[in-house]
Chains A and B, each alone.
Chain A
Amino acid sequence: MAETPNNSENMSRRKFLRNSGYVAGGLIGGGIIGGLLGANLNDDDNDKTAKTDTNAAHSSNQAPIYFTNPEQFAVLKAAVERIYPKDDNGPGAVDLGVPFFIDHQLAGSYGNNTREYMQGPFFPGSDFQGYQTPLLRHEAFDVGLAGLQSYSQQKYKKNFAELEGEQQDEVLKAFEEKKVKLKAVTSSTFFNLLRAATLEGVYADPVYAGNTNMDGWKMKGFPGHQMSYLDKIDSKEFQKIKPNSLHA
């Protein structure tokens, strides 16, 4: 991550407001002032340090805080890489930090369904009634990853991570198509969770430990967090803009 801060593109909110003449020229909503006062989160003077700290932070967050078992983590790594593989366009899920993204998510609110209705009684439900498993997401991942391993053992007498890519795809496809029996969750529900979490890890702000170097965004031509497109919104040319993350 050797990007040098570029003033026009890595603008802090404070600079943006100052440079754009936005404060001087127009009406100011209450929040603009609030934003300025609250700007010590990302003060001008701290920009450079924030930038360097960020790099350090990113590497230090590449360690598990949910998973405790390397074999289980290896299954996750192999699976996400098949869902979003490395290719000529750029890195795959593993190089993007996705396994750590998922790990961190499982340790928190997402993994524990803290803002979701988890009271019983539980019934399987129709295809139109949504998530109905009694498992919390982190438990669904535990069950699902163990399932990938045992299914691989059963079918190929090998661990999932040691299979050929095409074989791994076969295993994942069986899960996707609800063909594998798991405890308390359907294999397709698990697969859909895994697929969605992988894409989230590829494209979420790097603050969450995935999308390393904003490479996920770069592959899509997505500039991440920008203050304003007011002066570009009617431009006829496609705008290649260097991406910004929230902590840039």
Chain B
Amino acid sequence: MAKTLPKTDVVVVGVGWGGGIIGAELGKQGLKVVGLERGKERGVKDYYVVHDELRYAIRYELMQDLSKETLTFRNVAKERALPMRQLGSFLLGEGLGGSGVHWNGHTFRFLPYDFEIKTETEKKYGKNKIRDLGLDIQDWGITYDELEPYYDTFEKVAGIGGEDNHFQGKRSNPYPNKPMKETPITGKFKKAAKDMGLHPFSMPSANMTEAYENPYGAKMAACQYCGYCERFGCEYGAKADPTVAVIPYARSTGNFELRTHSNVTEILHDGKKATGVRYVDVQTKEEFIQPAEIVVVTSYVMNNNRLLLQSKLGKPYDPKTGSGIIGKNYCYQILPGVTGFFDEQFNTFMGAGSLGMTVDDYNGDNFDHSDLNFIHGGSISLNQTGKRPIQTNYVPDGTPSWGKEFKEKSTHYFTRTLDLATEGASMPTRNNYMDLDPTYKDAFGNPLLRMTYDFTAQDRNLYSYTQKMMGNIMKEMGAKEVYARGVSEHYDIVPYQSTHNTGGVIMGAEPGTSAVNNYSQMWDAENVFVIGASSFPHNSGYNPTGTVGALAYRAAEGIIKYSKNGGMLA
């Protein structure tokens, strides 16, 4: 029998960026918040031996333990979904700070176009374009200008270093920190892009470009360009990470109680409103009920969807009829890449998560799509994260993947290859969605989330177009040979692509086409707020977390209002 605990004002499910921001902002306002995190407590002090590629980057030390929980996957509905038995395509977070501990820190704002994508696309290209491409896009129920102040807040909290970008939406303030250093590698990209008439800018970075103190009083040291950033925690506290930037403040308010090893299995509700959550202490196996006035779900895209479906909250999406919402519009990221081979040697092993140069000339609607068979595009970047030897084994096309020649070439080119990648936008279609798996269960006996996802014609066209543009830049950079990664025949769950999963609990202006309003408040249960990239109706041509952070700040404002007056906020 589950033990019922004393009621709290707010219970938060999952403590990464989303949960940490909510804890900090509500705690500041005097609301009593209980933060439930399924993983363990961790922080900068735990990264004493973190420069270990095998342990952190290959064996995924900081990521989700799939023996307890995973998801199942198939490309299309007529296939049998099978469990994702090992991490691969995306690396789910677990433990205090979530994926915000081991992210790179590329911190973009989406384009004004993204928020009004349907209206803008129809206005410019007519209604047929969207229909012909079979896209389920919709406006977000919020404009860029309305979200701008929250982007500004998140950037200050995360100490983002950056510079103006020709295509950006209006900014109320400059970046709080200066841009990352320019290196011979990023400089090469900048020069080539400029010579081609493009508009390169320094990638907005959550690696501190200078020692920084955020509005919560969190002190972050300057980035050391150590080359062990993505997939690693930062031993210097130089990367904006929830355990550094927001959670200490949340705790200092005295109003945020963190309970780690607490896995939420259900959101309890009476059909109209939530009454609390059920969770299991994964160490003692005890079950608890935590009653609350307000439930905030910040457990990342996968569990935001799964918990709602399992708790029978909101209307599940049905791909056959197109009705229902939860699970709808699952999107990902389209990731073309090119590798250039050079004779000259570079310090490729030095770098930082967000050390990079980007162009937005082929992103959003920054270029004309009249004669193109896709919409949107992607940001193209050279990202000097620091190459590491297990993961980096580039060889020219036609070289075997093992043996003498492979050894010779892969060691030679380790410091003589540069690559470019596009963060390509991903558009929703009717057949890409999430629901509950009928067969496979987690460690608690609950059904796993089932993902049905494949690339579409839109994706392939966007892929080959941006691929070609990157090839041009790489040639201009002087590569003697350019290798272009081909698009996989179908989406493949194995090779790492990105942890930029989105959708399923999408936002919008009205309940018929969305699950949450622009405060991330559920239409079907006004005291439930579901925050994260799960609310993106499509995924843009950038990394998601800047927008997740902005939406979390807006939600925090809404929750505070709601705690006083109740009712729907929008």
Q: Could you tell me which A residues sit within 8 Å of B by CB distance?
A: 13, 22, 26-32, 34-35, 37-39, 41-42, 82-85, 87, 89, 109-110, 113-119, 121, 123, 125-132, 169, 172, 195, 198-200, 202-205, 207-208, 216-217, 219-230, 232-236, 238-239, 246
B74-A236 in contact (CB<8A): no
Contact between chains at B224 and A229 (CB < 8 Å): yes
Q: Do A87 and B224 form a contact, CB below 8 Å, given A130-B85, A232-B350?
A: no
The answer to whether A230 and B225 touch (CB under 8 A), given A31-B43, A115-B65, is: yes
Residue contacts A-B, CB under 8 angstroms, 21 given: A13-B48, A26-B211, A27-B221, A30-B237, A30-B244, A31-B234, A31-B236, A32-B236, A35-B235, A113-B85, A113-B86, A116-B67, A119-B83, A128-B494, A130-B494, A131-B494, A203-B53, A204-B54, A228-B225, A232-B350, A239-B347
**Given A126-B490, A208-B54, 5 additional A-B pairs, CB 8 A:** A32-B237, A113-B86, A217-B389, A220-B414, A226-B227
| Chain B contacts with A in 461-476, Cβ cutoff 8 A | none
**Cβ of B403 and Cβ of A131 under 8 Å apart?**
no
Cα separation A198 to B390 with both chains bound (whole Å)? 10
For chain B residues 330-375, which have a beta carbon within 8 Å of chain A?
Answer: 345-347, 349-351, 355
Chain A residues with CB under 8 Å of B309's CB are none
- Which B residue's beta carbon lies closest to that of A16? B224
Given the interface pairs A85-B404, A229-B226, the reply to whether A34 lies near B44 with Cβ below 8 Å is: yes
Once A85-B403, A223-B349 are accepted as A-B contacts, the answer to whether A132 and B411 lie under 8 Å apart by CB is: no
Q: Is the CB of B212 within 8 A of A130?
A: no
Q: Is the CB of A222 within 8 A of B80?
A: no
Interface pairs A-B: 3 shortest CB-CB: A31-B44, A29-B237, A34-B45
Nearest-CB residue, chain A, relative to B73: A129
A218–B211 CA distance with the chains assembled, in angstroms: 33
- Least CB distance from A109 to B in Å reads 7
Check if B407 is an interface residue, CB within 8 A of chain A: yes
Which residue of chain A has its CB nearest to the CB of B388?
Answer: A222
Please encode chain B, from 72 to 88, with 1 for each CB lying within 8 Å of some chain A CB and 0 for all others. 01110001101111101
Neighbouring B residues of A130 by C-beta, 8 Å: 82, 84-86, 88, 492-494
Instruction: Decide: A28 and B221 in contact? CB cutoff 8 A.
Output: yes
* CB <8 Å contact, B45 and A31: yes
Partner of A29, one of B51, B225, B244, B346: B244
| Residues of chain A with a CB closer than 8 A to B389's CB | 202-203, 216-217, 220, 222
Is B75 touching A128 in the complex (CB atoms < 8 A)? yes
Give the shortest distance, in Å, between B161 (CB) and chain A (any CB).
Answer: 14
Other-chain residue from B80, B238, B407, B415 in contact with A123 (beta carbon distance below 8 A): B80
Q: Is B58 an interface residue (CB 8 A)?
A: yes
Query: Which residues of B are found within 8 Å of A239, using beta-carbon distances?
Result: 347, 350
* Chain B residues whose CB sits within 8 angstroms of the CB of A37 once the complex forms: 45
**0/1 string, B219-234, CB within 8 A of A gives 1:** 1111111110000001
| B236 close to A84 (CB less than 8 A) | no
For window 202-255 of B, CB contacts with A under 8 Å fall at: 211-213, 219-227, 234-238, 244, 248
Given contacts A30-B244, A89-B408, contact A118 B85 (CB under 8 A): yes
Interface size on B, residues (CB 8 A): 83
Contacts A29-B244, A229-B224, A232-B350; A246 near B52 (Cβ below 8 A): yes
Cα distance A124–B313 when bound, in Å? Answer: 34
Q: Which of A29, A87, A207, A221 contacts B219 (CB 8 A)?
A: A29
Q: Which residues of B contact A89 (CB under 8 A)?
A: 407-408, 411
Whether A200 and B347, one on each chain, are in contact in the complex, defined by CB atoms closer than 8 angstroms, is no
A31 and B407 contacting across the interface, CB-CB below 8 Å: no
A30, B248: Cβ atoms closer than 8 Å: yes
CB distance from A156 to the nearest CB of B (A): 19
Q: How far is the CB of B13 from chain A (nearest CB, A)?
A: 22
Segment from B179-187, B318-326, B513-521, B546-554 that makes contact with A = B179-187
Cα A27 to Cα B238 with chains together (Å): 10
Q: Which residue, of B225, B355, B490, B491, has the highest number of chain A Cβ atoms within 10 A?
A: B225
Q: Does B393 contact A (CB under 8 A)?
A: yes
A199 touches B43 (CB 8 A): no
B441 close to A (CB within 8 Å): yes
A205–B390 Cα distance when bound, in Å, is: 10
- Residue among A13, A39, A126, A198 with the most chain B CB within 10 A? A126
Cα distance, A67 to B236, chains bound together (Å): 40
Given contacts A87-B408, A117-B66, A128-B490, contact A204 B390 (CB under 8 A): yes
Inter-chain contact B67/A229, CB cutoff 8 Å? no
For B411, the chain A residues whose CB sits under 8 A away are 89, 219-220
Q: How far does the alpha carbon of A234 sit from the alpha carbon of B470 in the complex, in Å?
A: 24
Shortest Cβ gap from A28 to chain B (Å): 7
Would you call B171 an interface residue if the criterion is a C-beta within 8 Å of the partner chain's C-beta atoms? no
Bound-complex Cα distance A221 to B402 (A): 19
Instruction: Report the minimal beta-carbon distance from B238 to chain A, rounded to whole angstroms.
Output: 7
In the complex, the answer to whether A29 meets B65 with C-beta atoms within 8 Å is: no
**Cross-chain contact B440 with A119 (CB below 8 angstroms):** yes
The answer to the question of B29 belonging to the interface, with a C-beta cut-off of 8 Å to chain A, is no
By a CB distance below 8 angstroms, the chain A residues around B414 are 220-222
Cβ-based interface call for B1 (8 A): no
Measured CB to CB, the nearest residue on chain B to A39 is B48
A225 to B88, CA, bound (A): 25
Q: Does B60 contact A (CB under 8 A)?
A: yes
Cα distance A239–B66 when bound, in Å? 40
CB neighbors of A among B409-435 (8 A): 410-411, 414-415
A221 touches B53 (CB 8 A): no
By a CB distance below 8 angstroms, the chain A residues around B59 are 109-110
Task: Pick the contact of B54: A34, A114, A205, A225 (CB < 8 A).
Answer: A205
Considering the complex, give the chain B residue whose CB is closest to the CB of A194. B402
Nearest B residue to A22 by beta-carbon distance? B221
Query: Complex formed: what's the CA distance from A39 to B349 in Å?
Result: 26
- Indicate if B49 sits at the interface (CB-CB under 8 A): yes
A39, B48: Cα distance in complex, Å = 8
CA distance A84 to B415 in the complex (A): 19
> A198 to chain B: which residues have CB within 8 Å?
402
Q: Find chain B residues with CB under 8 A from A34 CB.
A: 43-45
